[in-house]
Structure 1
């Protein structure tokens, strides 16, 4: 009999430390979407977002329809208050779905550094190591003291070198997994024979303040940049507004009337496809003007109305077995930021926003709708020459 595993992400509409925290954009994406995306691509069978925020429920319904795993459930006002415990939300939720699961995995949106492999490690510990519950921890090499001046985790008279010091394991608030029986009997996320999974030390930071937010953002940028490796570019993904166009839209009484495109960009895309680079378009707008222009350019991979571009690209990569390193991306604003960090090469026009220029691998000399795409195509064609003899 197959064991059913579910992920549970509790979100509250109100947040005292950082107002609207769960919806605030971290690298251009709502905070909660980082944990949600990793849960989707983990070995969990279903992932529930449990919230009292109708805006989040609507956002998920519109932007994650490509995944059958994702579900939302309305959280009661009583269990979304400042005084309500996470355990009370877990038990309320469990009753609402008639306890239809075997393993319950609590994931925290305030831990956006959590990765799918960490979730899988927790599930494995429960299923193969015979644990009743599992908690994620990090190993800190800090020296801990009590308030009454006592050293807790070392002998201060024999201060160890860092390389000789095992350190101390600390909960990082990221993952708590438990069997249904243990949860319902104890009413707690942890009980019985508890196992641990050790996560990297940088995952100790949880977002509770604006300072935490800034630290996490830099850690994510550093992680993505550290994963970039040289590889032949086989796919080019482009945003539309501010990349194909100058970002301006002409409206009439019926709505969107026109956008301005550069013919040189169209020729650049035609040439790059002749060099076996597949071209894709991904935009948050659902524009008939864009659809018609891409049809004219004979681009078949056109994805309109994509708000969470990062999760959409992760799903596309998964379906087509694409390596991030073989993808180039051209964007101009913060909703492109996560994808630009994720792929092998990222470009932005000379008139892109400042945050994008700070993370782009290359800021192009040309502006959007003034040959920026053509310039990027020429770079990719020349870059790929170094792989011809491999």
Structure 2
């Protein structure tokens, strides 16, 4: 069923057969949900299924209202499809028509087996927001979806109650990932004062904060001393070091927020409950993140993360277990 000419209906029938073989019973309702509709909501899926479960229809699908004027090209010129070209009402005065979005279809399972196509009997419309209608068929559509996502779906960010510790990469997260060299070969980096303000607020709120970096340069330890937080740097296996730190501190990794920017942060992303990418992170890191900052690394991204947890004024009350916060220390891997 995976060939280029296989129909969606054939795939659904195959899935129904597999379901019945596994569970020993037939489904009441079958849904076809297309992964090419990125802005589909769970509520729309549920509503489409509910139309069948409630007995209101035999089939249902998502559709967006349209007041547009459709035309067809002919050998004798353009002709109106859904309107008389001699009569031009205002769009808002037209009765809406509905464009099939291709996102969700629901069918009564027995009827689908009989008819073997997705529309039969009484068909119900589930009206969706036209602004959220986009089908991804080529790379250009994917680019449009990525551009629209921040506008259509409010980002989910953690709050104070979701996190027990904050672990920060250094280069590219607390800096802009650039290094400056003087004539003697000494390295310098730039840090953002807003990040320091955010880290100080996290400490006051009783959240343990750790810097975890592969960088050997002493500037990492110097920055940690300035911020009065512990640091593990010169670390080859950041995920192993993070796991050991969590065990030593008695912190569940699923309640850790880890912020990073590059591929060496991905093993830590897979370990924690809140992997966060700064906006300047590598594409693969952004894709793996549960949340992404608006601010790039080195420009106040850590301050932004602190605001997620503590509020814009960084004034969330201190948690009761604040005394467990680890005092500042420096550790390098041998």
Place the TM-score, normalised by the shorter chain, in its bin: 0.5 to 0.7
Matching of residue 349 in structure 1 with residue 297 in structure 2? yes
Secondary structure at the counterpart of residue 60 of structure 2: strand
Query: Aligned match of 2:2 in 76, 80, 83?
Result: 80
Query: With CA pairs under 8 Å and 6+ residues apart, which has the higher RCO, 1 or 2?
Result: 2
- 2:41 maps to which residue? 115
1:315-326 residue pairs with structure 2 within 5 A? none
Alpha-carbon offset, residue 134 of structure 1: 0.6
- Compared CA separation, residues 100 and 242, structure 1 to 2 (3 A): farther
**Is it true that 1:176 corresponds to 2:105 in the alignment?**
yes
Structure ID, larger Rg = 2
CA apart distance, 1:86: 1.2
Distance in 1, matches of 2:210 and 2:56, equals: 46
Query: How many residues align structurally?
Result: 255
User: How far off its partner does 1:177 sit?
Assistant: 0.7
Q: How does 1:220-299 map to 2 (within 5 A)?
A: 220-224=149-153, 227=154, 235=162, 240=169, 272=202, 274-275=204-205, 287-295=239-247, 299=251
Q: Does 1:163 align with 2:92?
A: yes
CA distance in 1 between partners of 2:119 and 2:271 (Å): 33
Structure 2, unaligned runs of 5 or more:
178-190, 212-236, 258-266, 318-334
Deviation at 1:103, TM superposition (A): 1.0
Matched, 1:334 2:286: no
Cα distance in structure 1, aligned partners of 2:174 and 2:158: 29
Superposed CA deviations along residues 63-108 of structure 1, whole A, max 9, x for unmatched, are: xxxxxxxxxxxxxxxx111111111111122112226321111011
Distance 1:195 1:305, change over 3 A: farther
CA–CA distance in structure 2, aligned partners of residues 288 and 239 of structure 1: 15
Name 1:95's counterpart in structure 2: 17
- Structure 1 residue 180 displacement after superposition: 1.1
Q: Work out whether residues 174 and 302 of structure 2, in 8 Å CA contact, stay in contact via their aligned partners in 1.
A: no
SS in 2 for 1:174: strand
Alpha-carbon spacing, 1:117–1:90, altered in 2? closer, same or farther (3 Å): same
Gaps of at least 5 residues in structure 1 are 1-78, 249-261, 314-327, 351-362, 365-371
Is the CA contact 2:39–2:132 (under 8 Å) kept in the aligned structure 1? yes
| Cα 1:245–1:164 shift into 2, 3 Å | same
Q: Distance in 2 between matches of 1:268 and 1:291?
A: 24
1:10-159 equivalences under 5 Å are 79-98=1-20, 100-148=26-74, 149-159=78-88
Matched-pair contact (CA < 8 Å) for 1:329–1:346: no
Structural RMSD (CA): 4.6
Deviation at 1:306, TM superposition (A): 5.1
Distance 1:128 1:305, change over 3 A: farther
CA–CA distance in structure 1, aligned partners of residues 11 and 162 of structure 2: 43
| Distance in 2 (alpha carbons) for counterparts of 1:88 and 1:297 | 54
CA apart distance, 1:159: 1.6
Whether contact under 8 Å (2:30, 2:107) holds in the other structure is yes
Question: Displacement of 1:188 after TM fit?
Answer: 1.2
Question: C-alpha separation between the residues in 2 aligned to 1:298 and 1:245?
Answer: 26
- Scaled by the length of structure 1, what TM-score is found? 0.52
